[in-house]
Structure 1
Amino acid sequence: MKKWKGSTSILIIAFIFYLNAVIWFFNGKGLLVWVWVIAATLELITGIYYRHREKKQLEDEQKQ
């Protein structure tokens, strides 16, 4: 079984945060929606950064 990378887990968490924002939106909680959207966006940026870093590290290992 393939091991999950850390960046994949972070991107899944970001998706869950966006899903939570949609749920809060339909429950009529306006301010909390923005809190979840901001948290999800930060999580998404972090996941993309880690994915890029993991890819670069893998390329460096293959060159050596």
Structure 2
Amino acid sequence: MTRRRCYPSDTTNAEWALIEPLLPPPACESPTGGRPEKHPRREIVDAIRYVVDTGQCRCLT
């Protein structure tokens, strides 16, 4: 799936390739199981970066 960058603070594909391996595996993929994630991890990282860069919050939709 191709993503469209919306904000200058959004991660590039190269940045995401460096960040993604550092994140823990989703709980739903563990042997004990867990709830599937509601929002894509990259969108959460982008939202955090947006708040850090601008000081403003935007909703995850």
Q: TM-score range by the shorter chain?
A: 0.3 to 0.5
- More contact order relative to length (CA 8 Å, sep ≥ 6): 1
> TM-score under structure 2 normalisation?
0.33
As a proportion of its length, which structure holds more helix? 1
> TM-score under structure 1 normalisation?
0.32
